[in-house]
Amino acid sequence: MKKPTKIVRAGLSKKRNGGVVNTPIVRASTVVFESVAQMRDSYERVTKKREKVLSYGRRGTATHWTLQEALTDLAGGADTVLTPSGLSACTLAILGCVKAGDHILVSDSAYEPTALFCGGLLKSLGVETTYFDPLIGAGIATLMRPNTTLVFCESPGSHTFEVQDIPAIAAVAHKHGAKVAVDNTWASPLFCRPLALGADLSVEAATKYIVGHSDVLIGAITGTEEAIAGVHKAAGAIGIATSPDDAYLATRGLRTLSVRLNQHQQNAWTVAQWLLAHPQVKRVLYPPLPGDPGHGLWKRDFTGGSGLMGVVFHRTSPAAMAALIDGMELFALGFSWGGFESLVAPSNPARQVKPWAEPTPGIRLHIGLEDPEDLIADLDQGLARFRAALA
Ligand SMILES: Cc1ncc(COP(=O)(O)O)c(C=O)c1O
């Protein structure tokens, strides 16, 4: 089946829902049993065999299973663990692969809170992190140590947009016995399948495109059998649980992912072309553009581009950037992205390996589902304010 078909059909089960199309919201903490034997049996089936049967609300209900099955199918993995946010999906994916004394490699393009987790809590648990240049490719071999157990990528980075060579990185990591996890939020499972490129875990901040409506926080980790077993163990130990209401909304959002993302892509392309021709703009960081340094890898490994891009200016200042953003009519200022609406945010990439070489601050745009002509008119006025504030 093609991906748009899978997006609509994956996880749907006539049997589970008694004919109702969408799995209803099944809320539960306590589940009651007929006998001690049944209680023991369901506990063992869930915890040891990871079967999707009712045991206790924290371990999931039919509402979660529908989303898990759909995401597993789309990502091409063995199973999916849901988490209460995208950030917790990143941190749990890491925790599922490490123990005290281990060393991990993290792309310098990683979302800043993921890096803060590595430098903070993870460090205090005895796991060391080294950052790598996102463009390192097979050169990652030089950073591998005997105790390296994980390479964590975010491709493309959500502020700097470098595409990482996952097949090359995975080949090296696997040779050294390490796993590879990829934060795949920019592409979503519609436009990239990291597991098919050799990764062991594919991480989604489903909060963004899968939910698609800026009203739910949820994360998902899909993995190979071996890798996801470690994540399940960590999730069980910590007591990770997601609300069935949120899982329901994420499944509902998922069903329209391909129509939404194709429109985001089309709008983003139109806006990017306009920006490229603007005299204030030095670079548009968007791998689908032929001039983007990541374009070759993007063409090889992705089937589309989403609505998130960076804009680098020839000359900039914090005051000019604020003048641009503060007066926007359509582009709202806020954290996150991936909803139906357009957003703008300041961009000051924090790097560990080598400083970000472009003038800062830049801006990051999320191109929503509005008409691109209206978005361009808003940006045109914003860039006029920007130019006036620079003068
Ligand atoms: C690439 C990426 N990963 C993870 C996250 C975290 O997602 P959440 O906000 O759901 O915790 C974000 C949020 O902006 C992100 O951009």
Element (H, E) at 138: none
pLDDT at 28: 97
CA distance 339 to 356: 28
**Running DSSP on this structure, what letter comes out for residue 162?**
P
The residue whose C-alpha atom lies closest to atom 14 belonging to ligand 1 is 336
CATH topology for 3-26+61-254 is Aspartate Aminotransferase; domain 2 (3.40.640)
Residue 18 pLDDT greater than 90, yes or no: no
Q: For the ranges 7-21, 245-259, 298-312, which has the lowest average pLDDT?
A: 7-21
Edge-first strand listing for the sheet containing 179-183: 79-83, 219-223, 201-204, 179-183, 148-154, 103-107, 128-132
pLDDT exceeds 90 at position 16:
no
* Ligand 1 atom showing the smallest separation from residue 219 Cα: 10
At what angle are helices 86-95 and 225-238 packed, to 10 degrees? 110
Mean pLDDT to the nearest integer, 285-290: 98
Banded pLDDT at 93 (limits 50, 70, 90): very high
pLDDT at 11 (0 to 100): 87
Mutate to test the pocket of ligand 1, among 87, 152, 221 (most ligand atoms within 8 A of CB): 87
Q: Is-contact 332 344, C-beta < 8 A? A: yes
Task: Taking residues 246-260, report their average pLDDT.
Answer: 98
pLDDT score at 102: 98
Q: What is the DSSP letter of 24?
A: P
Pocket test for ligand 1, best of 164, 214, 336 (most atoms within 8 A of CB): 336
Rounded to whole angstroms, what are the CA distances from 225 to 67, 78, 81, 178, 314?
A: 18, 5, 12, 15, 48
Using CA atoms, how far residue 23 sits from 8, 62, 208, in Å, is 13, 7, 22
- Count CA atoms closer than 13 A to 51's CA, side-chain side: 10
First to last CA, the chain: 56
The pLDDT assigned to 123 comes to 98
Q: Which residue has the higher pLDDT, 138 or 48?
A: 138
Rounded Cα–Cα distance for residues 227 and 77 (Å): 10
The structure tokens 């939910």 sit at 211
Show the CA angle centred on residue 221, arms to residues 307 and 31, nearest 5°: 125
- 311 forms bridges with which residues in the sheet? 284, 363
Structure confidence by residue, pLDDT tens digits, 154-200: 999 999 999 999 999 999 999 999 999 999 999 999 999 999 999 99
225, exposed or middle or buried, with CB in 10 Å at 0-12, 13-18, 19+?
exposed
With a 6 Å cutoff on the Cβ, whether 205 touches ligand 1 is yes
The predicted pLDDT at position 293 comes to 96
Q: Tokens 């869930």 identify what position?
A: 46
- Domain 257-390 is of which CATH architecture? Alpha-Beta Complex (3.90)
Strand partners, 312: 283
Mean pLDDT for all residues in the chain: 97
Where do the structural domains in the chain lie, given as residue ranges?
3-26+61-254, 257-390
- pLDDT tens, position by position, 192-225: 999 999 999 999 999 999 999 999 999 999 999 9
Q: Which of 88, 112, 208, 211 most suits a substitution to test ligand 1, by most atoms within 8 Å of the C-beta?
A: 208
214 lines ligand 1 (CB under 6 A): no
Average pLDDT over residues 71-79: 97
Equal fold, 3-26+61-254 vs 257-390: no
279 close to 312: Cβ distance less than 8 angstroms: no
Give the pLDDT band of residue 266 (cuts 50, 70, 90): very high
Atom of ligand 1 nearest to the CA of 207: 10
Q: Indicate which residues carry an active-site annotation.
A: 58, 111, 183, 208
Alpha carbon of 218 to ligand 1 centroid (Å): 9
Segment 95-124, tens digit of pLDDT: 999 999 999 999 999 999 999 999 999 999
What atom of ligand 1 comes closest to residue 217's alpha carbon? 10
